[in-house]
Amino acid sequence: MTIPPAQDRLHAQLAFAMEIDKLRRVVRRNTLMDGSRRENDAEHSWYVGMLAMVLAEHAPPGTDIGKVVAMLLVHDIVEIDAGDTFIYDTPAVEVQLDVERKAADRIFGLLPDDQAGRLRALWDEFEERRTPEAKFAKALDRIAPIMANHHNEGGTWSLYKVTAEQVLEKVKIIEEGSPTLGEYATELIALSVSRGHLARA
């Protein structure tokens, strides 16, 4: 029996929906702000999407915030296959993009072609970081762990012996997407250093 195209499309969409449920199981290195437990990727994606709406006025003029939110909702889906890459793990970061591209091919490929193309394009745009939307999205993705580590006495910085210089290097990406948020991140880092929660090299 031939499956009607509409039903076939629905099956593909539901297969994708079931697959992305796995994002709730991908545990990140970073903890919640109260330090009570590590966060998962689905929580992180929701949180930075909310930040995009709340902090929209700090985006470059003319930035499409709806697109930023959509980008942030899909940006970590690849970690279902690739896992969470710790940004201070240099060898892992060097191979991260290749591993994540393969994951993107498989996971977005579960969708009907038109939706696969649209969501994959959002993911590619986020990774390429060329548009104001992608730069702002990446800034939010980077500032969230800085906020968490600042509020839980160093968090993963202390655990993995991350230095202030390493964190400040990541602030460049935040500044690229939002000078205001870049300045705020720099202030948090200085405060963390002064409180003894982040060491200098």
Statement: residue 54 has pLDDT above 50: yes
Statement: residue 4 has pLDDT above 60: no
**What CATH number labels 5-194?**
1.10.3210.10
For the chain, give every domain's residue range.
5-194
Tens-digit pLDDT profile for residues 160-191: 999 999 999 999 999 999 999 999 999 999 99
Cα distance between residue 5 and residue 112, in whole Å: 11
Dihedral sign of CA atoms 83, 86, 89, 94 in order: positive
Tens-digit pLDDT profile for residues 30-52: 999 988 999 999 999 999 999 99
User: Could you write out the three-class secondary structure of 26-57?
Assistant: CEEEEECCCCCCEEEHHHHHHHHHHHHHHCHH
